[in-house]
């Protein structure tokens, strides 16, 4: 009787929160999961903040900087990226990427998007061939020629199937167990649900090699290709929508599992640009009507982007009906980091990068880099004028357009 073993790759504000969610569930479902959840931590030296409840002047941890992994494993708290949240004791912080992933049958990728490419190269030889993944990364993998969902570029690099999780999920609120919803998109080739036929009558159990198949897989662009995938061993509980639900659902974190990986991933990436724009107009103190106008146009451009570049698989309803769509847009444009930092940058008359540095204590914005990446992609295709909000946000960030002109810049009728 095998069980799934889960590793979280990443331990920032959201990475640590998702580790908490998952570890609560692995403990509650010993029939399906090993209780222990490995969490890979990008190691750094951290001093316990004096404001922390952990701070004790007589303790050996009080003054010296310590390894973040040591602090997490000793105090069961991520004092730097998720302070004052008690973590389940079955989370094990591990500074070695290779060691943390080597036994995982489920890999959850959760870190700022700029780091994932390099980490995949380091993970490659260390993971189980039949591992499956879920990407919680909000961003898109863009070059001027192409755009890819992180779930798919990670999957391709590692030779495994990877789905996506995204929703209206400000990490600190989820960590405090305040109610929210999320969307998990999971659409692997059918080999896992059917499973390989176990060998009959005394022959040895199917080896890993026997489970490796060339299978047809339709990606989010609708392209069918032959991929070499290794099925999960039949002894493992089948990794289907039900299991995904069990892994992530909590009484305070309601999961809806769907198959539209493109819609879920694109929403999570593009709404960060809209949140920057909304923060900008909030910084001008233009009021809530202005913010709502930016959100409206943003939602339409998100949907249009999906239809234009992922037309074969995207469900436009994902943008308007799922937590990953409109709900994440709303929460991000009310109190997300991209919104807050953009607002402060206008109020203080400094760059958003400066605010990110001074206010976020090592947490990272995704909206500014995504604005640049998406603009580069659109420009290379001559489509930048068809997405006036996404484009103007980038140009304002660059100092090429005036924030005060935003209403006119986005007032293009009949674009949708």
Q: Which residues bind ligand NAD (CB under 6 A)?
A: 10-15, 42, 81, 110-113, 115, 136-139, 169-171, 362-364, 366
How many residues of this chain interact with ligand 13P, rule: CB under 6 A? 13
- Using the rule CB under 5 A, give the single segment among 78-86, 282-290, 293-301, 343-351 that binds Ca ion: 78-86
Q: Does 24 bind ligand 13P (CB under 6 A)?
A: no
- Using the rule CB under 5 A, give the single segment among 83-91, 205-213, 261-269, 363-371 that binds Ca ion: 83-91
- Using the rule CB under 6 A, give the single segment among 47-55, 150-158, 259-267, 330-338 that binds ligand 13P: 330-338
Q: Does 316 bind Ca ion (CB under 5 A)?
A: no
Residue 54 CB, nearest distance to Ca ion (Å)?
Answer: 5
Residue 84 contact among Ca ion, ligand 13P, ligand NAD, none, beta carbon within 5 to 8 Å by kind: Ca ion
Please say whether the beta carbons of 339 and 333 come within 8 A.
Answer: yes
Reference 213, options 189, 196, 229; nearest CA is 229
- Using the rule CB under 6 A, give the single segment among 162-170, 186-194, 214-222, 371-379 that binds ligand 13P: 162-170
**Residue 20 is a catalytic residue:** no
Q: Smaller CB distance to ligand 13P: residue 132 or 271?
A: 271
Residue 331 contact among ligand 13P, ligand NAD, Ca ion, none, beta carbon within 5 to 8 Å by kind: ligand 13P
CA distances from 187 to 103, 131, 164, 240, 376 (A): 23, 15, 9, 9, 29
Q: Which of these is catalytic: 271, 291, 304, 343?
A: 271
Please say whether the beta carbons of 376 and 145 come within 8 A.
Answer: no
- Using the rule CB under 6 A, give the single segment among 83-91, 195-203, 249-257, 334-342 that binds ligand 13P: 334-342
Q: Does 328 bind ligand 13P (CB under 6 A)?
A: yes
Residue 148 CB, nearest distance to ligand NAD (Å)?
Answer: 15
Residue 11 contact among Ca ion, ligand NAD, ligand 13P, none, beta carbon within 5 to 8 Å by kind: ligand NAD
Q: Which residue has the tokens 């847009």?
A: 329
Query: According to CB under 6 A, which residues from 359 to 388 bind ligand 13P?
Result: 366
Q: Smaller CB distance to ligand 13P: residue 232 or 338?
A: 338
Residue 168 contact among ligand 13P, Ca ion, ligand NAD, none, beta carbon within 5 to 8 Å by kind: ligand 13P
Residue 167 CB, nearest distance to ligand NAD (Å)?
Answer: 8
Residue 72 CB, nearest distance to ligand NAD (Å)?
Answer: 11
Question: Which residue in 168, 184, 191, 329 binds ligand 13P (CB under 6 A)?
Answer: 168
Q: Which residue has the tokens 């069980």?
A: 3
Residue 65 CB, nearest distance to Ca ion (Å)?
Answer: 18
Please say whether the beta carbons of 163 and 187 come within 8 A.
Answer: yes
Residue 113 contact among ligand 13P, Ca ion, ligand NAD, none, beta carbon within 5 to 8 Å by kind: ligand NAD
CA torsion sign for 278, 284, 285, 287 is negative
Query: According to CB under 5 A, which residues from 35 to 54 bind Ca ion?
Result: 53
- Using the rule CB under 6 A, give the single segment among 93-101, 110-118, 306-314, 324-332 that binds ligand 13P: 324-332
3-state SS of the chain?
CCCEEEEEECCCHHHHHHHHHHHHHHHHCCCCEEEEEEEECCCCEECCCCCCCCCCCCCCCCCCCEEHHHHHHHHCCECCCECCCCCCCCEEEECCHHHHHCCCCEEEECCCHHHHHHHHHHHHHHCCCCCEEEECCCCEEECCCCEEEHHHHHHHHHCCEEEEEECCCCHHHHHCCCCEEEEEECCCCCHHHHCCCCCCCCCCCCCHHHHEEEEEEECCCCCEEEEEEECCCCCCCCCCHHHHHHHHCECCEEEEEECCHHHHHHHHHHHHHHHHHHHHHHHCCCCHHHHHHHHHHHHHHHHHHHHHHCCCCCCHHHHHHCHHHHHHHHHHHHHCHHHHHHHHHHHHCCCHHHHHHHHCCCCCCCHHHHHHHHHHHHHHCCCHHHCHHHHHHHHHHCCCCCHHHHHHHCCCCCCC
Q: Does 138 bind ligand 13P (CB under 6 A)?
A: yes
Q: Does 84 bind Ca ion (CB under 5 A)?
A: yes
Q: Which residues bind ligand 13P (CB under 6 A)?
A: 138, 168-170, 272, 275, 328, 331-332, 336-338, 366
Q: Which residues bind Ca ion (CB under 5 A)?
A: 53, 84
Q: Which residues are the active-site residues?
A: 271
């Amino acid at each position: 009787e095998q069980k799934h073993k889960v590793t979280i790759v990443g331990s920032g504000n959201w990475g640590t929160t998702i580790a908490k969610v998952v570890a609560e569930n692995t403990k509650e479902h010993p029939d399906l999961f090993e209780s222990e959840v490995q969490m890979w931590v990008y190691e750094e030296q951290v001093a316990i903040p004096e404001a922390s409840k952990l701070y004790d002047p007589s303790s050996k941890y009080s003054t010296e900087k310590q390894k973040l992994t040591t602090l997490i494993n000793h105090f069961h708290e991520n004092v730097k990226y998720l302070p004052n949240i008690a973590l389940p004791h079955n989370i094990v912080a591990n500074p070695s990427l290779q060691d943390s992933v080597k036994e995982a049958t489920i890999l959850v990728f959760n870190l700022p998007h700029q780091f994932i490419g390099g980490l995949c190269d380091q993970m490659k030889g260390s993971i189980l061939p039949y591992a499956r993944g879920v990407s919680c990364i909000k961003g898109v993998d863009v070059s001027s020629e192409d755009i890819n969902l992180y779930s798919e570029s990670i999957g391709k690099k590692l030779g495994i199937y990877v789905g996506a999780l995204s929703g209206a999920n400000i990490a600190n609120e989820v960590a405090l167990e305040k109610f929210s919803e999320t969307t998990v998109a999971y659409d692997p080739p059918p080999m896992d649900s059917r499973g390989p036929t176990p060998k009959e009558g005394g022959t040895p159990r199917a080896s890993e090699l026997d489970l490796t198949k060339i299978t047809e897989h339709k990606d989010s662009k609708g392209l069918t290709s032959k991929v070499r995938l290794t099925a999960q061993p039949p002894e493992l509980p089948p990794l289907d929508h039900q299991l995904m639900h069990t892994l992530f659902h909590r009484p305070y974190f309601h999961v809806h599992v769907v198959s539209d990986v493109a819609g879920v991933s694109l929403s999570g990436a593009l709404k960060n640009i809209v949140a920057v724009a909304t923060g900008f107009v909030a910084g001008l103190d233009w009021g809530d009507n202005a913010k709502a106008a930016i959100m409206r146009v943003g939602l339409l451009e998100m949907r249009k982007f999906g239809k234009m570049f992922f037309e074969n698989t995207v469900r436009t309803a994902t943008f308007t009906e799922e937590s990953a769509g409109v709900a994440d847009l709303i929460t991000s444009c009310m109190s997300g980091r991209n919104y807050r930092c953009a607002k402060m940058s206008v109020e203080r008359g400094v760059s958003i990068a400066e605010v990110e540095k001074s206010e976020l204590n090592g947490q990272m914005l995704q909206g500014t880099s995504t604005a640049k990446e998406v603009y580069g992609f659109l420009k290379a295709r001559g489509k930048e004028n068809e997405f006036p909000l996404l484009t103007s946000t980038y140009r304002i960030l660059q100092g090429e357009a005036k924030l005060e002109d935003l209403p006119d810049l986005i007032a293009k009728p009949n674009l949708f």
